[in-house]
Amino acid sequence: MSEFFITNGGMILGGIAVAIAVFVSGIGSAKGVGMAGEAAAGVVIEEPEKFGKSLVLQLLPGTQGLYGFVIGLFMMMRLTPDMSFSSGLLLIAASLPVALVGYHSAICQARVAVAGINILAKNEEQQAKGIIYAVMVEMYAIIAFAVSFLMMTRI
Protein backbone atom coordinates (compact mmCIF):
# COMPACT_ATOMS: atom_id res chain seq x y z
CA MET A 1 0.00 0.00 0.00
CA SER A 2 2.74 2.48 0.90
CA GLU A 3 4.53 1.56 -2.33
CA PHE A 4 1.43 2.68 -4.24
CA PHE A 5 1.51 6.11 -2.59
CA ILE A 6 5.25 6.45 -3.09
CA THR A 7 4.88 5.63 -6.77
CA ASN A 8 1.68 7.59 -7.45
CA GLY A 9 1.69 10.22 -4.69
CA GLY A 10 2.50 13.12 -6.98
CA MET A 11 -0.32 12.31 -9.36
CA ILE A 12 -2.76 11.78 -6.49
CA LEU A 13 -1.85 15.16 -5.00
CA GLY A 14 -2.15 16.70 -8.46
CA GLY A 15 -5.65 15.27 -8.76
CA ILE A 16 -6.51 16.75 -5.37
CA ALA A 17 -5.20 20.11 -6.61
CA VAL A 18 -7.52 19.92 -9.63
CA ALA A 19 -10.45 19.11 -7.35
CA ILE A 20 -9.64 22.01 -5.01
CA ALA A 21 -9.41 24.53 -7.86
CA VAL A 22 -12.64 23.40 -9.52
CA PHE A 23 -14.81 22.51 -6.53
CA VAL A 24 -14.07 25.40 -4.18
CA SER A 25 -14.37 28.15 -6.78
CA GLY A 26 -17.39 26.38 -8.27
CA ILE A 27 -19.15 26.22 -4.91
CA GLY A 28 -18.59 29.95 -4.41
CA SER A 29 -19.92 30.70 -7.88
CA ALA A 30 -22.95 28.48 -7.44
CA LYS A 31 -23.79 30.21 -4.17
CA GLY A 32 -23.18 33.65 -5.70
CA VAL A 33 -25.21 33.05 -8.84
CA GLY A 34 -28.01 31.68 -6.67
CA MET A 35 -28.01 34.73 -4.40
CA ALA A 36 -28.14 37.12 -7.34
CA GLY A 37 -30.76 34.97 -9.06
CA GLU A 38 -33.04 35.17 -6.04
CA ALA A 39 -32.85 38.96 -6.13
CA ALA A 40 -33.33 39.08 -9.90
CA ALA A 41 -36.40 36.85 -9.72
CA GLY A 42 -38.06 39.36 -7.42
CA VAL A 43 -37.48 42.14 -9.95
CA VAL A 44 -38.47 40.13 -13.03
CA ILE A 45 -41.76 38.98 -11.54
CA GLU A 46 -42.84 42.63 -11.30
CA GLU A 47 -41.12 43.87 -14.47
CA PRO A 48 -40.40 41.02 -16.94
CA GLU A 49 -38.76 43.41 -19.42
CA LYS A 50 -35.80 43.73 -17.03
CA PHE A 51 -34.86 40.06 -17.42
CA GLY A 52 -31.89 40.63 -19.73
CA LYS A 53 -30.44 43.43 -17.65
CA SER A 54 -30.80 41.48 -14.42
CA LEU A 55 -29.23 38.42 -16.04
CA VAL A 56 -25.96 40.31 -16.59
CA LEU A 57 -25.71 40.99 -12.86
CA GLN A 58 -26.72 37.46 -11.96
CA LEU A 59 -24.04 35.88 -14.15
CA LEU A 60 -21.09 37.92 -12.86
CA PRO A 61 -20.45 35.75 -9.75
CA GLY A 62 -20.25 32.72 -12.04
CA THR A 63 -16.94 33.73 -13.56
CA GLN A 64 -14.94 32.60 -10.53
CA GLY A 65 -16.09 29.04 -11.12
CA LEU A 66 -14.97 29.37 -14.72
CA TYR A 67 -11.52 30.54 -13.60
CA GLY A 68 -11.20 27.54 -11.29
CA PHE A 69 -12.33 25.22 -14.08
CA VAL A 70 -9.70 26.61 -16.47
CA ILE A 71 -6.94 26.25 -13.87
CA GLY A 72 -8.16 22.71 -13.17
CA LEU A 73 -7.98 21.83 -16.88
CA PHE A 74 -4.46 23.21 -17.17
CA MET A 75 -3.45 21.25 -14.08
CA MET A 76 -4.96 18.05 -15.48
CA MET A 77 -2.81 18.45 -18.59
CA ARG A 78 0.28 18.51 -16.35
CA LEU A 79 -0.54 15.28 -14.49
CA THR A 80 1.72 12.35 -15.32
CA PRO A 81 2.08 8.93 -13.68
CA ASP A 82 5.73 9.62 -12.77
CA MET A 83 5.01 13.02 -11.24
CA SER A 84 7.00 13.70 -8.08
CA PHE A 85 5.39 14.12 -4.68
CA SER A 86 6.78 17.66 -4.41
CA SER A 87 5.27 18.59 -7.79
CA GLY A 88 1.90 17.39 -6.52
CA LEU A 89 2.26 19.53 -3.41
CA LEU A 90 3.20 22.52 -5.55
CA LEU A 91 0.07 21.99 -7.66
CA ILE A 92 -2.01 22.04 -4.47
CA ALA A 93 -0.34 25.33 -3.53
CA ALA A 94 -1.06 26.70 -7.02
CA SER A 95 -4.73 25.74 -6.74
CA LEU A 96 -5.26 27.70 -3.53
CA PRO A 97 -5.37 31.29 -4.86
CA VAL A 98 -8.03 30.61 -7.50
CA ALA A 99 -9.96 28.36 -5.12
CA LEU A 100 -10.01 30.49 -1.98
CA VAL A 101 -10.18 33.94 -3.56
CA GLY A 102 -12.65 32.59 -6.12
CA TYR A 103 -14.93 31.23 -3.40
CA HIS A 104 -14.89 34.37 -1.30
CA SER A 105 -15.01 36.88 -4.15
CA ALA A 106 -17.96 35.10 -5.80
CA ILE A 107 -20.00 35.51 -2.63
CA CYS A 108 -18.89 39.12 -2.14
CA GLN A 109 -19.60 39.85 -5.79
CA ALA A 110 -23.06 38.34 -5.41
CA ARG A 111 -23.80 40.76 -2.58
CA VAL A 112 -22.75 43.66 -4.79
CA ALA A 113 -24.76 42.20 -7.70
CA VAL A 114 -27.84 42.02 -5.46
CA ALA A 115 -27.35 45.71 -4.67
CA GLY A 116 -27.01 46.34 -8.42
CA ILE A 117 -30.25 44.48 -9.03
CA ASN A 118 -31.87 46.75 -6.45
CA ILE A 119 -30.54 49.73 -8.43
CA LEU A 120 -32.07 48.20 -11.56
CA ALA A 121 -35.40 47.77 -9.82
CA LYS A 122 -35.53 51.37 -8.63
CA ASN A 123 -33.86 53.25 -11.49
CA GLU A 124 -33.11 51.30 -14.67
CA GLU A 125 -31.04 54.15 -16.12
CA GLN A 126 -28.45 53.71 -13.33
CA GLN A 127 -27.89 49.98 -13.95
CA ALA A 128 -24.36 50.52 -15.31
CA LYS A 129 -23.26 51.74 -11.88
CA GLY A 130 -24.34 48.45 -10.32
CA ILE A 131 -22.42 46.51 -12.96
CA ILE A 132 -19.29 48.60 -12.38
CA TYR A 133 -19.47 47.97 -8.64
CA ALA A 134 -19.76 44.22 -9.23
CA VAL A 135 -16.90 44.20 -11.74
CA MET A 136 -14.61 45.83 -9.17
CA VAL A 137 -14.82 42.66 -7.07
CA GLU A 138 -14.00 40.64 -10.21
CA MET A 139 -10.52 42.18 -10.32
CA TYR A 140 -9.43 40.17 -7.29
CA ALA A 141 -10.65 36.93 -8.84
CA ILE A 142 -8.69 37.76 -12.00
CA ILE A 143 -5.56 38.46 -9.94
CA ALA A 144 -5.97 35.12 -8.13
CA PHE A 145 -6.45 33.36 -11.47
CA ALA A 146 -3.23 34.93 -12.77
CA VAL A 147 -1.32 33.97 -9.61
CA SER A 148 -2.53 30.36 -9.79
CA PHE A 149 -1.66 30.21 -13.48
CA LEU A 150 1.82 31.64 -12.96
CA MET A 151 2.50 29.35 -10.00
CA MET A 152 1.37 26.34 -12.01
CA THR A 153 3.59 27.17 -14.98
CA ARG A 154 6.65 27.27 -12.70
CA ILE A 155 6.19 23.64 -11.60
pLDDT of residue 5: 82
Domain count, the chain: 1
The tens digit of pLDDT for each residue in 10-49 reads 999 999 999 999 999 999 999 999 999 999 999 999 999 9
Q: What is the DSSP letter of 98?
A: I
Query: What range defines the domain where residue 35 resides?
Result: 2-153
**Which residue from 107, 118, 82 is spatially nearest to 25, judged by alpha carbons?**
107
CATH for 123 = 1.20.120.610
pLDDT more than 90, % of the chain? 94
Q: How confident is the model at residue 2 (pLDDT cuts 50, 70, 90)?
A: confident
CA distance 109 to 48: 24
Residue 64 — very low, low, confident or very high, per pLDDT cuts 50/70/90? very high
Backbone angles phi, psi at 154, to 5 degrees: -90, -5
